[in-house]
Structure 1
Amino acid sequence: MTKMQQAFKERMDEDELLNCMRCGFCLPSCPTYVESGYKESHSPRGRIALMKAVVDGIIEPDEDVERSLDLCLGCRACEPVCPSGVKYGHLLEEARDIIQQHKKHSVPVRALRKVVFDGVFPYQNRMRLLTNFLGIYQRSGLQAVAHKTGVMRLFPESLATMEKVLPKAPTMKDMKNRPTALPTLASKQKRVAFFTGCLMDTMFLETNNATLTLLQHAGCEIVIPPEQNCCGALHGHSGEKSKAKELAIKNIKAFENLDVDYIITNAGGCGAFLVDYDHLLKDDSDWSSRASAFQSKIKDISAILVELGFHKKHKLTLRPQRVTYQDSCHLRNVQGTFLQPRLLLQAVEGVDFFEMKDADRCCGSAGIYNITESEMSMQILDHKMEKVAESEATTIVTANPGCLLQMKLGIEREGLTGILRAVHIADFLMEALDITEADVETVMER
């Protein structure tokens, strides 16, 4: 038995593997199963069977097994429909981690993973620096030159198109001038902490500011611990579990003594990973109970706004437009938040809300999946854009940065820029909220 096989046998949860009854309820919900032409090895049931076969020593964890697991989006759409309640996402992450820890990467790949996972995402100052470089590229005219000279044609099509739809990067001054506490702008209802995220507080800074303003107007006193860091989702999904645990422990330390009712997130992927901290640290006697206490307070921005009746207490108005909603997979499938965003959108005057068919089907973003598995990602996105077209919407609202960029990518690929737009729900609600510019500036008060 190889070391990798032995690790599968020792580390995989065999009870969870046996919970899968092979009933097939998961099959229609799995995008890669459908898009691969109903290939069993690209379904949740098939992947679990492969994991079990490795654990039992029937097969080796070869390239075919790794390929099957790599092609999985990790959207976890299989979990809500599973009658046995199999935690497929936990099995997938454990298997990926085992493979990565025993795999011999080439020197370039090993160096790239070291830079990304160890050198960049754990350090917010480095995230700011990279975002600042992007801002210089965008504002200096270099981006315009790159487009005119055709330099971007040297890159894969999906990456070149993604470069076009990236948000305008904030300045270093704006990224550094972040609040650590904000007062409520209405009758106080809750005291909350805000999880800023790494990408959200750099590339998507405006969305974070919008989120904070909405919380203030909903009656929330806000604390924002500066010691927090990346949630660790990218690490956890990519076979870097030990690093994910380090990041989780740092976040728990940053939030656990704040005396707050909730910890608010505005990124579906981050929120889902934060909710799973209790599983991530379940074998750590020093941190398991503290992780459970932490994850019990996680709540998405849309959930708290509905809980506090924000959409009933404030006038929300926009120009007439047809709006549809694209679910963030992890917000829906892991956090169970899907009704609240729709209630908020339907409360906006001028909005004709239309429920898109298969709104709960993954858009193909899945973290960095649209980069590492571009062909499958674009295939899934093309089908998603077909459903968008059927909805006849002029605005797509979503609740996760990756989903937002993916939908913008779809709009650009379809040549619909200027006709159709994609927007984060926090930014959309800010557009609809009848407040003054002075109110918005209050976000930056310390």
Structure 2
Amino acid sequence: MTTSKEQETIQQQFKERMDEDELMNCMRCGFCLPACPTYVESGYKEEHSPRGRLALMKAVIDGDIELDKDVENSLDMCLGCRACEPVCPAGVNYGHLLEEARDTIHQNKKHSLLVQTTRKSAFYGLFPHQNRMRSLTGFLSFYQRSGLQKAFHKTKLNHLLPENLSSIEKVLPKVPTRKEMKDRPSYVPAVSTAKKRVAFFHGCLMDTMFRQTNDATIQLLKLAGCEIVIPQDQACCGALHAHSGEKDGAKELAKRNIIAFEKLKADYIITNAGGCGAFLIDYDHLLKDDSEWADRAKQFTECIKDISSILVELDFHKRSLHLQEQIITYQDSCHLLNVMKTSNEPRILLKAIDNVEYREMEKADSCCGSAGIYNIVETEMSMKILDSKMVNVKETQAVTIVTANPGCLLQMKLGIEREGLSDSIRAVHIVDLLLEATNSK
């Protein structure tokens, strides 16, 4: 329970930090409702819709309600997929409002010592430091390669884990060793004459747990005619910080990345993870109130481009691409689609592969239920959304599900595992599939 004084403080900070004009732009028309996965899967509960959450934010500002556990649960239940934004006739920037509300709540919340320590260790002791990320991933690699994982499953100790964590442990990718995660070169030349000079944002999890996908990204960029610069001093994008109420930490990481990339004079900054790309492209909003950084952030965001967009721009889809005969489908990354507005390019590339039948999945643009760590902290809702997604997957009869974001990739693998389809369906990142199609004879 919070005291009346604490409620006054929270209300005042909501007033100071929330954009009331943006809140008032919501016309309560309801166009967002069918686009919202949590509204649909909750049985059409208004408090789990974008319109309902905006009404709760406004009610807290006006003092009509207190920011109690029910309000907090409503905001926490949101995936942050931002599918409501493209369908909103008023153009409400819901994602920005949600982030501000969550940050205000968490900055005024009294966490237990354990939660405080965990958050500080993860957000400030781990993610901003790539060497520590490599060390942690190295332990996971040892667990996978040493026989410990096999023993863990053989003795059924994995059953002691919560069901969702046990399932996630099964679908984690085979990660490289600490030795294999050495620093990347700062410059990689194009295979032939360079058409573009690009900088590569390799991310934190992408360059450790999903390093093979980053390797494939660099290879595709080389083949497409890009010379690649890779700043060694780049940092985590800060998305997890901002989505979890650690906005100041996100701002510091944003500044580090702007410094690292602005000196490279690249045509584009390339990303291969929809979640990272969407947050990078929002740096101008994140730093809009900082006079020293606002213009630099805007210049940075204007350079962000997804790997699929640069490949189409450079006619990679006109190359000889070939795979064994199969049906494939594509699951949109919410942030790649709704924030970076990249939808056609992945499909153009996939449809260009010889011997492959592309089948569009029903509601491919609807969230899969991953959303960072959402499938861990909001497991029940996440699995409801995933189960609905897998119904649509099975209707395509695809044997390969293609994604463009690591969280989506793990979630689709989790869905395959839950359905007992591991022997007949696979999930892959689009760049891994494209490199496979390039190398296939």
- Equivalence map 1:249-328=2 (5 Å): 249-312=255-318, 314-328=319-333
Give the CA RMSD over aligned residues.
0.9
Equivalents in 2 of 1:177, 1:111: separation in Å? 29
| Match in the other structure for 1:13 | 19
Equivalents in 2 of 1:290, 1:29: separation in Å? 34
| Match in the other structure for 2:68 | 62
Q: 8 Å contact 1:71–1:373 — kept in the other structure?
A: yes
| Match in the other structure for 2:140 | 134
Q: 8 Å contact 1:196–1:208 — kept in the other structure?
A: yes
| Match in the other structure for 1:245 | 251
Equivalents in 1 of 2:398, 2:209: separation in Å? 26
| Match in the other structure for 2:84 | 78
C-alpha deviation, 1:110, in angstroms: 1.2
Equivalents in 2 of 1:9, 1:340: separation in Å? 41
Identity %: 69
- Equivalence map 1:44-443=2 (5 Å): 44-312=50-318, 314-434=319-439
Equivalents in 1 of 2:196, 2:270: separation in Å? 11
TM-score (norm 1): 0.97
Equivalents in 2 of 1:178, 1:203: separation in Å? 15
Equivalents in 2 of 1:186, 1:403: separation in Å? 33
Equivalents in 2 of 1:117, 1:433: separation in Å? 38
Structure 1 unaligned blocks of 5 or more: 437-446
C-alpha deviation, 1:240, in angstroms: 0.3
* AA in 2 matched with 1:143: Q
Look up the SS of the partner of 1:179 in the other structure: coil
Q: 8 Å contact 1:26–1:82 — kept in the other structure?
A: yes
Look up the SS of the partner of 1:396 in the other structure: strand
* AA in 2 matched with 1:122: P
Q: 8 Å contact 1:184–1:221 — kept in the other structure?
A: yes
C-alpha deviation, 1:174, in angstroms: 1.6
Look up the SS of the partner of 2:295 in the other structure: helix
Structure 2 unaligned blocks of 5 or more: 1-6
Equivalents in 2 of 1:302, 1:383: separation in Å? 27
Runs of 4+ in 1 over 4 A off after TM superposition: none
Q: 8 Å contact 2:213–2:431 — kept in the other structure?
A: yes
Equivalents in 1 of 2:369, 2:148: separation in Å? 30
Equivalents in 1 of 2:77, 2:360: separation in Å? 28
Look up the SS of the partner of 1:4 in the other structure: helix
Q: 8 Å contact 2:213–2:432 — kept in the other structure?
A: yes
Q: 8 Å contact 1:315–1:434 — kept in the other structure?
A: no
Provide the aligned length of Structure 1 versus Structure 2: 435
Equivalents in 2 of 1:65, 1:279: separation in Å? 25
Equivalents in 1 of 2:440, 2:368: separation in Å? 33
* AA in 2 matched with 1:337: T
C-alpha deviation, 1:334, in angstroms: 0.2
C-alpha deviation, 1:176, in angstroms: 1.1
Equivalents in 1 of 2:186, 2:326: separation in Å? 36
Equivalents in 2 of 1:186, 1:88: separation in Å? 44
C-alpha deviation, 1:435, in angstroms: 7.7
TM-score (norm 2): 0.98
